A and B are shown apart, each in its own frame.
Chain A
Amino acid sequence: MTEHLINLKVNDSAVTIRVPAHRTLLELLRDVLGLTGTKEGCGNGECGACTVFLDGTPVRACLILAVEADGCEVQTIEGLSQGGLRPIQQAYAETGAVQCGFCTPGFVIAAEALLRKDPNPNDDAISAAFSGHICRCTGYTSLFEGVRLAAKKMRVGERE
């Protein structure tokens, strides 16, 4: 099995590690670095539970090889939560968008990525950001509502 030495930043910490070529970013995060906030729901890119930021872009960590993250910056749900809850995290809690919680980290990253680009997203934009994410509990209405509420919180926050 070929191994590669890779250097990356995970949640602002430098990581240098040897990984087999077939190791996924998800396996690296969960099994090696112990960052289990990122969930595996399918391992095939079908559910969105493992979404993380790779150089600021939301990606499915199960579809990225660890070697592809060489030289990149990765931010996981743990990194996003450093320094307190983001508005989207507060908003999901308030609108009832959190039930079993397994899909939640993925939906947090998806919405955070959207809100960084578009501070006032309409439902088409939210729907596009949620594309490829599955929640089996909520029926999604409270997740849409959560993004709208977070956008509102952020606008109010800016004015203050």
Chain B
Amino acid sequence: MKSNYIGTSAPRIDAVEKVTGEARFVADLHLPGMVHAKLVRSPHAHARIVSIDTNAARAMPGVLAVVTGADMPWWIGECVVDQRALAVDKVRYPWEGVAAVIAETEEQAILAADKIKVEYELLPAVIDVRDALKADAPLIHPDMASYHFVPNFFPEHGTNVFHHYTILEGDAKAALASADVVLEQEYEFPLLMHAQLETHGCVARQTNDGRFELYASCQSPFMIRTVLAEAFHLPRHMITVRAGYIGGGFGGKSDATIEPLTCALARFVPGRWVRFVLSREENLAASVIGRGLRGRFRVGANRDGKLVGAQIDLDLAAGAYGWTAINIVPCAGNTATGPYHFPTLEIHTRGVYTNTAPVGAYRGYGHPDSQFMMERHMDLLARALDMDPVELRLKNIYRHGEKNSLGQRIDRSFGDLEGCINAVAKELGMGTGPRPAGDPPPDARKVRGVGLACLMKAPGMATNAYESCLLKFNEDGTVHVISSFTDMGQGTHTGVRQIAADIMELPLERVYIPRVIDTDFSPYDWQTVASRSTWMQGRAIAHAWKRAKREMIETCAAVLGVEEAEIEYENGVFFVKDQPERALELEQVCHGYVHPDGHVDGGPVVVSGYFVPYQTYADPTTGQGNIASSWTFGCQGAEIEVDLRTGELTPLRIVTALDVGRVINPTLANIQVVGGVVFALGGVLSETTIHSAAGAVRNPTLTDYKVPTPEDCRDIDFPTYLLETPVPGDPVGTRCIAEHPSVAVAPALVNALSDAAGVEFYDLPLSAERVLEALTRKGGSRA
């Protein structure tokens, strides 16, 4: 395939709309007759609802309806159906919705919601996953046995474990018993908030003939349609989901969050548009949050550094409802090995209900959590073996044909991890020998250190996670490439336009990508998650183009009076083989060919295409199977400076090397990397979700939940290496990249901190306060 546009920094197609404020987001919609919803939310993490008094609220001006959970019998969920639109009988997390008011204005809804009185009886709350796993732990879902689970999930009834995923390969216990060195350590990746600049929003109505129509700030309109269809027992065609621009997603808008509730509320005011837009506090405290993994790693190696086996236990604190987290469980489990070959493995990963907001996708989907632990472990193991941490990694990364934790054979076409490691090591001057823990000289005020960590990620998807597209040719030979992935900033529309132009050999200006999705008109797309859209959409377009070309060749053959097999295509022109003068331009046939006497051959060409990779379910006992496709491998590293007086950690350089197969748009790819690194950096340095002992969320504001600011980032250097090992059999040849720059930032920094100052962290964040505490404990503080 020729590439005129792939590999160039084509301008972003949505830039003008966005820099002028013209781009419409859900909260910008003002629809005729629109009314407003506000919730009463629980102040408690776990409590029985004794009574709800709504009388005073109903009497307030402008109030159209007051609704509680008892009024809404619908069940919500995708893989496990465990949630209600509003809490029924008890609340399971702080800020869970208990009652809703719909009023003519937002102000009236707020004032009326204030009048609702809820009486609670407190239940013991479990925030820490270890408490949730205790034999006498309060059960957050005592009725779990009655819940509907899709196949291949393994709840442990009578406990808080809603899914237990196991990987077994060989006899890890025996391998560790005979290993030269066995290193054991516990780790924790804490809970984080997404803090998208745009909070969640939905505007929905139920039409008088019973249909639902909604506008949603969502990553996955078709998944929302599925959840709504199942919750309300409606055929898919009775639901129209519309999605446009999204002000940041990062996984937090990938599940149905407020959409089922907004639709449920719309049933109480038929015909009226109900607007429900979360406040900043609700966005942080009451919507989906992320990470929250604890792990215990036991890894054995021989004296020469060769890994012999691992026993790993991972527990995901998944919050009050499991359905947004259930697929994180296998992803965290099967990538806990990092990109290293373990001849024997025993990995247990449990998804556990806790009394926090539901945990869901968070840029990286389980991969950064468990690989944080393994990449810390590799550095500690290198110390125990007195080996260079780079050498230890290079010795154990998958060699051609070796199996990963899923039993998939990894071959060279999966990418050049060794090249990535070498690029990062060279940039940081690593790979020169063992690196003992830092030991600052007594007079030092500031010390520097370096660290690196490998990463790997594949999309965690259903086996039938289709990506599809429509090619709709216009009268003038321009073409609408219509897809249903959402662009929440990652630049997919721009990249896909470049891919489409190259696949069809047409000028970029002739390719138009609509940015609004409407499930009535747009082709099916599973979800915009897992870094899958650019990778999969290219394949779908290639498939559709094959069909479109066939249709147009049929028309050309009829017009030119030759066999179809004799027609060739190049750069927008169909011609007879070896007779280039007998030719028809694409625009002459893509909307039917009009003969001089007016009769036509062919017609308007509208074709569809799809792509889905080969995947299978995992084996229920061994956890193995083709449950991951399109691996991307890489390495990240950091050089940091630590102020020994204050504990302040300053990143100087954060290096990223990824084998992306093929760079579609260098500007967008580089921004994607820097953005992903900084997104993860917040979780390493400053972001923490703080719960009180009783489970209250202490910091649901952007003042107290500290995401990176311009000043934090201005002086950091972000060297980026994008390797391009071809992907065989793929016409475009790109790999997934969107989440990957967030995967190994945490272990790279924690390893660098150890290198600089000799303090060891097994959790996060590396806030100045915590680093100073650690330095003081170690006797290395100069405060």
The residues of A with any CB-CB pair to B shorter than 8 Å are: 30-31, 34, 36-44, 46-47, 49, 76-78, 81, 85, 89-90, 92-96, 98-105, 108, 123, 126-127, 130-131, 133-144
Residues on B with C-beta less than 8 A from A103 are 197, 247
Contact: B710 with A108, CB < 8 Å?
A: no
Q: Which residue of A has the minimal Cβ distance to B28?
A: A36
User: Which of B19, B23, B25, B489 is in CB contact (< 8 Å) with A89?
Assistant: B19
Q: A36-B28, A105-B21, A134-B702 are in contact. Are A92 and B15 (CB under 8 A)?
A: yes
Q: Sort A-B residue pairs by CB-CB distance and give the 4 closest, nearest first.
A: A37-B21, A102-B247, A101-B18, A100-B489
Given the complex of chains A and B, what is the CA–CA distance between A36 and B29 in angstroms?
9
11 A/B residue pairs, CB under 8 Å, sorted by A: A41-B280, A44-B280, A44-B702, A81-B21, A89-B19, A94-B11, A130-B709, A136-B196, A139-B676, A139-B678, A143-B710
Minimum CB–CB distance for A70 against chain B, Å: 21
B701 CB, min distance to chain A CBs, angstroms = 7
A31–B27 Cα distance when bound, in Å, is 10
In-complex Cβ contact of B490 among A30, A99, A135 (8 A): A99
Q: Which of B184-207 contact A (CB under 8 A)?
A: 195-199
Q: With A47-B702, A81-B20, A85-B19 given, is the CB distance from A41 to B198 under 8 Å? A: yes
Contacts of B199 in A (CB 8 A): 41
Residues of B within 8 A of A139 (CB): 671, 674-679, 708, 713, 718
Task: Please determine whether A39 and B713 come into contact, CB atoms closer than 8 angstroms.
Answer: no
Q: Is B250 an interface residue (CB 8 A)?
A: yes
- Residues of B within 8 Å of A78, CB to CB, are 20-21
CA A37 to CA B18, docked complex, whole Å? 9
In the bound complex, residues from chain B placing their C-beta under 8 Å from that of A34 are 30
Shortest C-beta distance, A87 to chain B (Å), equals 11
Please report the C-alpha to C-alpha distance between residue A59 and residue B246 in the assembled complex, in whole angstroms: 25
Give complex CA distance A111, B599 in Å: 59
Known: A139-B677, A141-B718. A131 touches B250 (CB 8 A): no
Nearest-neighbor residue (CB-CB) of A141 within chain B: B674
Secondary structure at the B interface, as helix, strand, loop or mixed, is loop
Please report whether the interface of chain A is mostly helix, strand, loop or mixed according to DSSP.
Answer: loop
> Complex Cα distance A136/B703, Å?
14
| Chain B contact patch, size range | 35 or more
Q: Which of B20, B674, B710 meets A133, CB within 8 Å?
A: B710
Alpha-carbon distance A85/B17, docked complex (angstroms):
11
Determine how close the nearest CB of chain B comes to the CB of A50; give it in whole angstroms. Answer: 11
Q: When the two chains form their complex, are residues B16 and A44 in contact, meaning their CB atoms are under 8 A apart?
A: no
Whether a CB of chain A sits under 8 angstroms from the CB of B178 is no
CB interface residues, B 695-742, toward A, < 8 Å = 701-703, 707-711, 713-714, 718
Cβ–Cβ contact A43 & B196, under 8 A: no
Chain B residues, Cβ within 8 Å of A77: 20-21
Chain B contacts with A in 395-453, Cβ cutoff 8 A:
none
Number of A-B residue pairs having CB atoms within 8 Å of each other in the complex:
170
Pick the contact of A39: B12, B247, B249, B250 (CB < 8 A).
B247
Within 8 Å of chain A (Cβ to Cβ): is B276?
A: no
Partner of B197, one of A44, A76, A136: A136
Judged by a CB distance under 8 angstroms, whether B279 is at the interface is yes
Give bound CA distance, A142 to B677, whole Å.
14
Decide: B245 and A100 in contact? CB cutoff 8 A.
yes
Check A140 against B678 for contact (C-beta < 8 Å).
yes
Q: Does B597 contact A (CB under 8 A)?
A: no
In the complex, what residues of A have CB within 8 A of residue B23's CB?
101
Instruction: Contact check, B195 vs A136: say whether CB atoms are below 8 A apart.
Output: yes
Residues of B within 8 A of A126 (CB): 710, 714
Which residues on B sit within 8 Å (CB–CB) of A90? 19
Question: Which residues between 100 and 151 of chain B lie within 8 Å of chain A, taking CB atoms?
Answer: none
Q: Does B465 contact A (CB under 8 A)?
A: no
Most buried by A among B11, B701, B702: B702
Smallest CB separation, B205 vs chain A (Å):
19
Q: List CB contacts (< 8 Å) of B1-58 with chain A.
A: 11-12, 14-25, 27-28, 30
- Interface assignment of B634: CB less than 8 Å from any CB of chain A: no
- B489 to A101, Cβ gap below 8 A? yes
Contact yes or no, A141 B679, CB < 8 A: no
Are A134 and B25 also in contact (CB < 8 A) when A44-B703, A100-B247, A141-B674 are? no
Question: B14 to A98, Cβ gap below 8 A?
Answer: yes
Residues of chain A lying within 8 A (CB to CB) of residue B28:
30, 36
Interface pair B248/A43, CB less than 8 Å apart? no
A47 to B281, CA, bound (A): 13
Interface centre among A40, A76, A81, A123 (most CB of B within 10 A): A40
Q: What's the Cα separation between A126 and B710 when bound, in Å?
A: 9
Cβ of B667 within 8 Å of any chain A Cβ, yes or no, is yes
A40 CB contact (under 8 Å) in B27, B489, B701: B27
Q: Which of B21, B279, B675, B714 contacts A137 (CB 8 A)?
A: B675
Contacts of A31 in B (CB 8 A): 30
Set B18, B675, B711: member contacting A104, Cβ < 8 A: B18
